[in-house]
Amino acid sequence: MSYLGVTTSATGRRWVGLDPAAERLAEAIAQTGQPPALARHLARRGVLPEAAAAFLAPKLRDLLPDPLSLRDMGIAASRLVAAVTRGERIAIFADYDVDGGSSAALLVWWLRGLGQRATIYVPDRIDEGYGPNAPAIAELAAGHDLIICVDCGTLSHEALAAGKGTDILVLDHHLGGETLPPALAVVNPNRIDEDGALAHLCAAAVVFLTLVQANRLRRDAGQSQPDLMAMLDLVALATVADVAPLIGVNRALVQQGLKVLRDRNRPGLRALSDVARMDGPPGSYHLGYLLGPRINAGGRIGAADLGARLLSTDDEHEAAALAERLDTLNGERRAIEAEVTEAARDQAETLLSQGDAPLVWAAGEGWHPGVVGIVASRLKEAFNRPAVVIGLRDDGLGQGSARSVAGVDLGAAIQRLAAEGLLVKGGGHRVAAGLTVEADKIEPAMARLGELLARQGAGAAGPRDLSIDGTLMPRAASRDLVAALENAGPFGQGASAPRFAFPDLRAVHSRPVGEGHLKLTLSDGGPVRLDAIAFRATESGIAQAVDRAAGGPLHVAGRLEINRWQGRETVQLKLEDLAVVSELNPV
């Protein structure tokens, strides 16, 4: 049954509230002393009354798994400790995204705490592509005693074979194949022989667990150990930016990491926060939408190692220069992204106009490989189905990225396409993957991918529902309520923020801001008004619906947040959807 009678909103979605069982659970949680609005959110997430207090104050020591529960962990940590003890030459081969850069920086800071140095190597996205390649590994092996591959390497059999005479450790989280690469140790919760209990970890979390075990070994030997708790800002950044689900230990890692980030002790993150004009205490939004994209910009359209260098530097001047460079590159990335998004969306709409499809895909000459992943995410959100975006190169190959919806394992399907010979290579994890394909095989590859994903239910759901935790009135939207709701955070992938509906409001004022956004002042006729902002309102149809309402009543839905501007703090609704009451079918 639809919530408030909204079966088709301005964005084409049905609103759904708590089911009867969750309603009863919310009542029980409220009886423990939690605010009713918070109780309803906890009920939607399945938190039991007796577990509510612990859920709202997660402790890392209670949730951190034993590192040795991961295969090869003992070997990897022992080899790392031995390398430090013997003063060996260490190289770190890292992916070019935030997770790879954070993983590399974790190792650099840990080694620096022990008076050791390491070489960081990040492959160029265009010239070398994702993951280890044989020439780079051979070159590193010639000058180093130990190579540590972070956020990559699990499927790099041929490349790692080039590192003859040098031990190689792989600390990764991408889906593994039937065989392991020729490395001394492969620590990966997504190895085929793992039980999947830690499959939600990003690579930086795997590196963190490795360092936890390394510290144990050093403590047992009576040696000093670097402070790992002070490095949790890097783990939090990687977890959010890599869209890892904020469940279990991930939630505790991010919550504790945000506390570290507030201290502003890491030069690179402090400088980047300043150029991003980050105000107020950092949250998962800042990691995912302000810091993460800027760090990624280096790997997308600039020098691949800029992000890792920023996160690992202890020099204030270098940090400031790198932050400025990344901020500039991020602006350039946004312009490129907008152009590719428009063209890709046109192709996707044409595809769907020819009949329903389990996935949408688009390909174009010269589309920058650094933005195809972001554009794929845009298409996935717009059409609620897996999306693939491919940039065609001059050498006859297409380099693409894919993003999936909940419940559809994209990484496994991409790996199968590669095994069947329809892709040159491909891999990733459940929600995101990368691929390389010959231009003349794109259409058959996408057709086959559609078949595989359709078996998992892709494209069958139609427009996604919008989950509503409950109903509020403007006078209830206080700073105290926002603070109480934030105790259920951090919010992100797999842990959406509380969303509430405000019925029968009128837009007493609205004005466009930025590029297609909309600022509104909403009222229920009482003395308290609610400020709201709707991002991409023109693209989503929200702006047009406000115009149609012509001052008439609206049901609006969104998330409450604190808006900080010029030293003032006010409650604001991040408006995600609305319905014009006069357009609703009477119940």
Question: How many CA atoms lie less than 13 Å away from 389 in the CB half-sphere?
Answer: 29
Beta partners for 570? 563
Cα 238 from chain centroid (whole Å): 8
CB neighbours (10 Å) of residue 341? 21
**Residues 148/273/250/428 CA torsion (nearest 10 deg):** -50
Cα dist. 19→3, 36, 40, 66, 467 in Å?
Answer: 11, 16, 11, 37, 11
Of the three residues 454, 478, 506, the one that is the final residue of a domain is 454
Nearest CA among 344, 336, 341 for reference residue 301: 336
The reply to whether 25 falls in a domain is no
Of the three residues 281, 309, 328, the one that is the final residue of a domain is 328
The reply to whether 164 falls in a domain is yes
The reply to whether 482 falls in a domain is yes
Q: What is the CATH number of the domain that holds 550?
A: 2.40.50.140
Contact in structure between 456 and 407 (CB atoms under 8 Å): yes
For the beta sheet containing 432-438, the strands, ordered from the edge strand earlier in sequence to the opposite edge, are 360-365, 387-392, 397-403, 432-438, 425-428
Q: What is the CATH number of the domain that holds 91?
A: 3.90.1640.30
pLDDT tens, per residue, the chain with 587 residues: 799 999 999 999 999 999 999 999 999 999 999 999 999 999 999 999 999 999 999 999 999 999 999 999 999 999 999 999 999 999 999 999 999 999 999 999 999 999 999 999 999 988 888 899 999 999 999 999 999 999 999 999 999 999 999 999 999 999 998 999 999 999 999 999 999 999 999 999 999 999 999 999 999 999 999 999 999 999 999 999 998 999 999 999 999 999 999 999 999 999 999 999 987 889 999 999 999 999 999 988 878 999 999 999 999 999 999 999 999 999 999 999 999 999 999 999 999 998 888 999 999 999 998 899 999 999 998 888 999 999 999 899 999 999 998 889 999 999 999 999 999 999 888 889 999 999 999 999 999 999 999 999 887 655 678 999 999 999 999 999 999 999 998 998 888 899 999 999 999 999 999 889 999 999 999 999 999 999 999 989 999 999 999 999 999 999 999 988 777 889 999 999 999 999 997 65
For the beta sheet containing 90-94, the strands, ordered from the edge strand earlier in sequence to the opposite edge, are 119-121, 90-94, 146-150, 167-171, 185-187
Whether residue 361 is found in the same domain as residue 502: no
Domains identified in the chain, total number:
3
Whether residue 96 is found in the same domain as residue 167: yes
Tell me which residue range forms the domain holding 423.
356-454
List CB contacts of 28: < 8 A, sequence separation 6 or more.
49
Whether residue 101 is found in the same domain as residue 246: yes
The reply to whether 248 falls in a domain is yes
Contact in structure between 557 and 502 (CB atoms under 8 Å): yes
List CB contacts of 518: < 8 A, sequence separation 6 or more.
510, 511, 512, 533, 534, 537, 538, 542, 543, 546, 575
Nearest CA among 264, 199, 294, 247 for reference residue 491: 247
What confidence score (pLDDT) does residue 461 get?
Answer: 58
Whether residue 92 is found in the same domain as residue 224: yes
Q: Residue 248: which region, alpha, beta or left (left: phi > 0; alpha: psi -120 to 50)?
A: left
Whether residue 317 is found in the same domain as residue 397: no
Q: Where are the strands (E) in 366-495, listed by range?
A: 387-392, 397-403, 425-428, 432-438, 466-467, 470-471
Whether residue 170 is found in the same domain as residue 293: yes
Contact in structure between 8 and 16 (CB atoms under 8 Å): no
> Strand 119-121 and strand 500-513: pairing?
unpaired
What confidence score (pLDDT) does residue 533 get?
Answer: 97
Of the three residues 454, 481, 504, the one that is the final residue of a domain is 454
Q: Rounded to the nearest 10 degrees, what angle do helices 20-30 and 36-44 cross at?
A: 130
List CB contacts of 198: < 8 A, sequence separation 6 or more.
65, 69, 70, 189, 249
Nearest CA among 571, 460, 500 for reference residue 3: 500
The reply to whether 45 falls in a domain is no
SS3 letters across 569-582: EEEEEEEEEEEEHH
Q: Which residue has the tokens 């070398």?
A: 128
Contact in structure between 99 and 295 (CB atoms under 8 Å): no
Contact in structure between 76 and 171 (CB atoms under 8 Å): yes
The reply to whether 38 falls in a domain is no
d(CA 213, CA 223): 13
Q: What's the sign of the alpha-carbon dihedral 147, 153, 158, 161?
A: positive
What confidence score (pLDDT) does residue 355 get?
Answer: 83
The reply to whether 154 falls in a domain is yes
Whether residue 190 is found in the same domain as residue 86: yes
Q: Give, for 533, the enclosing helix (H) or strand (E).
A: strand 529-534
SS3 state of residue 516: coil
Whether residue 367 is found in the same domain as residue 486: no
Cα 119 from chain centroid (whole Å): 27
d(CA 377, CA 400): 12
d(CA 90, CA 143): 9
The reply to whether 571 falls in a domain is yes
What confidence score (pLDDT) does residue 127 get?
Answer: 85
DSSP code per residue over 460-495? -S-SPPEE--EE--GGG--HHHHHHHHTT---BTTB
Nearest CA among 389, 434, 437, 391 for reference residue 410: 434
Bond before 490 cis per omega within 30 degrees: yes
Whether residue 449 is found in the same domain as residue 496: no
Whether residue 383 is found in the same domain as residue 407: yes
Q: What is the CATH number of the domain that holds 373?
A: 3.10.310.30
Whether residue 266 is found in the same domain as residue 146: yes
Nearest CA among 401, 371, 406, 370 for reference residue 388: 401
Whether residue 386 is found in the same domain as residue 486: no
